[in-house]
């Protein structure tokens, strides 16, 4: 049952000035149980109704007929505080989880609406490094959240597989490259060639021209250029796929930048027709000065197109191919200006759906001073981070539990889960510094802690096999510690919706940490498999609820929840 919604409908009958949705958004969950379980603030109504908030609260309290799930309502200042009928509330909430299982928190909100989530989008021939982890895990989690809420989701990896840099790479490979070396060690050797190109080009600027020429050839479909480029792309994807496999991520579409190579002339023409293209030193630009932004370069003087041109073509293609309700881009804050310019141009092109294109930005990852990077250069490869986390997990598990079955699988679930969880713990917009210590710390509010709580609940349930029933007595869960758990479980569906509204998976991360903590308090205070059958049934039901919600929460973050660890 959606308590908040029912309460909102009830309030709406008396406050027609606010819609049910407005009321739902306004209702707060007081931190302190003495202030009730749900609170409705009357401050905003004060203006419209021309009455003091506490007077409004008094009036409302007088007129409300409380349904069974509430035992009383109290006025405290400008707030109406609602107190749940604990036994009834606990019974209802936990029964719902037992009935709905994996579907608890699911919703049909998104039915019939197509949502594109574009994420990860690394550049080929470049390392897949720690800087890509955030887009990859935030995007994957958003995809799962939207999917869970009933949207039709389409995941896209907009690979950086086009642009002048590939002309340069072709030149470098032809001059200094070696096929065997690239085959043996694709990304590092391609990176080396790219670096060498730039070193040499400082001495010999003519190389730059050659690079441009080869990109032009690529755009024109030259055989040799295409063959080399395709090969660079294939070997890069092989590397990326190893990491995606570890993270259990796949994409519906790998339409990267190159996919739009033949779709740009049409877009440029559309811009011409709208009269927004201007010539500047032989190149085509869109003047964005009236909007306080630098001009956007659309087509260079040699006719070749740019990153932003491809993004414009991609948005238009996506609208036509998927008729999206929302088109989400999970890309770091370094590209804020790019996406602002791009969106403005779409608006100027008369695309009224531009407002449905959403840049979900996130903070930068920087490397802690002295971070030991792996292989070549100051680059921390994502694959190495995941592997290290798995190794460390193996050590910890074999120490604690030497004869555990399927160690490899569990170590992968926990080690990788730890890295992903930590990435999704902070507000996405915050910058942060990568440190090995932080990533490999499994104490405190971490993924392994939450997974361990799930395994602990699973083990209790295994011991009580066949005794889980929704026919239990909610009045056995009305003590403060049990109620705290019940309330968090009750809030879970709302938490998922909030995470979706804000495109912020960390809201779920924090909520399941809260659940794990409050469950561990419960577990510490209350023996579960007790003689009193009624108490046992109720407590087991609560354990079941916790296990299910943690499982789903981790699932929505893209993390596995092992039964044992
Ligand atoms: N390939 C780009 C990079 O690694 C990110 C692409 C973001 N997506 C987009 N549609 N522009 O920086």
Residue 301 in domain? no
50 lies in which domain range? 3-84
Percent of the chain with pLDDT over 90: 81
Percent of the chain with pLDDT over 70: 98
Nearest protein Cα to ligand 1, atom 11: 311
Mean pLDDT of the chain: 93
Residue to mutate, 154, 160, 233, 327, ligand 1, most ligand atoms under 8 Å from C-beta: 160
Residue 289 in domain? no
pLDDT tens string 269-297: 999 999 999 999 999 999 999 999 999 99
pLDDT tens string 297-356: 999 988 888 999 999 999 999 999 999 999 999 999 999 999 999 999 999 999 999 999
Residue 242 confidence class, pLDDT cut points 50, 70, 90: very high
Residue 398 in domain? no
471, 84 in Cβ contact below 8 A? no
pLDDT tens string 373-424: 544 456 788 999 999 999 999 998 898 888 888 999 999 999 999 999 999 9
Is 123 a pocket residue for ligand 1 (Cβ < 6 Å)?
yes
Q: What is the pTM of this model?
A: 0.94
Residue 370 confidence class, pLDDT cut points 50, 70, 90: low
Helix, strand, or coil here: 112?
coil
Residue 201 in domain? yes
Residue 330 in domain? no
d(CA 496, CA 226): 45
CATH (domain of 41)? 3.30.1360.70
Residue 173 in domain? yes
170, 210 in Cβ contact below 8 A? no
Expressed in angstroms and rounded, the spacing between residue 299 Cα and the centre of ligand 1 is 18
Q: Which ipTM was obtained for this model?
A: 0.99
Domain count, the chain: 2
Q: Which of 17, 51, 84 is the last residue before a domain boundary? A: 84
Residue 188 in domain? yes
d(CA 231, CA 288): 38
Q: Which of 228, 247, 266 is the last residue before a domain boundary? A: 247
Nearest protein Cα to ligand 1, atom 5: 121
Residue 223 in domain? yes
Expressed in angstroms and rounded, the spacing between residue 255 Cα and the centre of ligand 1 is 12
Expressed in angstroms and rounded, the spacing between residue 231 Cα and the centre of ligand 1 is 21
Instruction: Evaluate if residue 47 carries a pLDDT over 90.
Output: no
Q: Which of 216, 247, 278 is the last residue before a domain boundary? A: 247
- 522 burial level (CB within 10 Å; 0-12, 13-18, 19+): buried
At 502, list the tokens.
């804000």
């Amino acid at each position: 049952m959606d308590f908040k919604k029912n309460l909102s409908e009830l309030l709406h009958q008396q406050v027609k000035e606010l819609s049910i949705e407005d009321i739902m958004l306004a209702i707060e969950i007081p931190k302190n149980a003495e202030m009730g379980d749900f609170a409705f603030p009357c401050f905003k109504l004060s203006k419209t109704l021309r009455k003091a908030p506490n007077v409004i609260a008094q009036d409302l309290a007088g007129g409300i007929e409380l349904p069974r799930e509430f035992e009383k309502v109290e006025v405290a200042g400008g707030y109406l505080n609602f107190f749940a009928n604990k036994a009834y509330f606990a019974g209802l909430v936990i029964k719902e989880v037992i009935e709905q299982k994996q579907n608890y928190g699911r919703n049909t909100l998104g039915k019939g609406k197509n949502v594109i989530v574009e994420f990860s989008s690394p550049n080929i021939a470049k390392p897949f490094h720690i800087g890509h982890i955030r887009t990859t895990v935030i995007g994957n989690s958003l995809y799962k959240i939207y999917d869970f809420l009933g949207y039709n989701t389409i995941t896209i990896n907009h690979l950086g597989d086009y642009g002048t840099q590939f002309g340069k790479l072709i030149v470098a490979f032809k001059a200094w490259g070696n096929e065997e070396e690239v085959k043996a060690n694709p990304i590092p050797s391609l990176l080396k060639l790219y670096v060498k190109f730039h070193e040499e080009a400082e001495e010999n600027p003519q190389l730059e021209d050659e690079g441009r020429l080869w990109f032009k050839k690529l755009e024109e479909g030259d055989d040799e250029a295409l063959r080399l480029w395709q090969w660079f792309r294939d070997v890069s994807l092989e590397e990326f796929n190893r990491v995606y496999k570890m993270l259990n991520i796949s994409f519906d579409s790998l339409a990267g930048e190159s996919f739009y190579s033949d779709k740009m002339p049409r877009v440029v023409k559309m811009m011409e027709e709208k009269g927004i293209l201007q010539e500047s030193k032989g190149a085509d630009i869109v003047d964005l000065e009236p909007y306080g932004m630098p001009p956007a370069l659309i087509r260079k003087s040699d006719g070749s197109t740019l990153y932003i041109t491809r993004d414009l073509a991609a948005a238009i293609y996506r609208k036509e191919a998927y008729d999206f309700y929302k088109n989400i881009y999970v890309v770091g804050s370094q590209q804020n200006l790019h996406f602002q310019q791009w969106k403005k141009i779409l608006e100027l092109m008369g695309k009224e759906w531009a407002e449905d294109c959403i840049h979900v930005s996130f903070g930068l990852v920087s490397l802690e001073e002295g971070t030991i990077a792996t292989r070549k250069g100051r680059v921390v490869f994502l694959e190495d981070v995941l592997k290290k986390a798995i190794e460390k997990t193996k050590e910890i598990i074999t120490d604690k539990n030497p004869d555990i079955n399927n160690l490899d699988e569990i170590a992968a679930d926990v080690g990788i889960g730890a890295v992903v969880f930590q990435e999704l713990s902070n507000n996405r917009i915050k910058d942060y510094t990568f440190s090995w210590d932080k990533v490999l710390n499994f104490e405190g509010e971490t993924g392994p802690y939450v997974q361990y709580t799930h395994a602990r609940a699973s083990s209790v349930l295994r011991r009580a096999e066949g005794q889980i029933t929704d026919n239990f007595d909610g009045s056995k869960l009305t003590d403060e510690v049990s109620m705290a758990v019940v309330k968090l479980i009750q809030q879970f569906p709302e938490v998922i919706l909030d995470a979706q509204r804000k495109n912020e998976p960390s809201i779920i991360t924090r909520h399941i940490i809260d659940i794990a903590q409050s469950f561990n308090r419960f577990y510490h205070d209350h023996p579960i498999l007790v003689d009193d059958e009624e108490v046992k049934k109720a407590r087991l039901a609560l354990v079941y609820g916790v296990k299910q919600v943690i499982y789903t929460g981790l699932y929505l973050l893209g993390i596995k929840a092992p039964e044992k660890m």
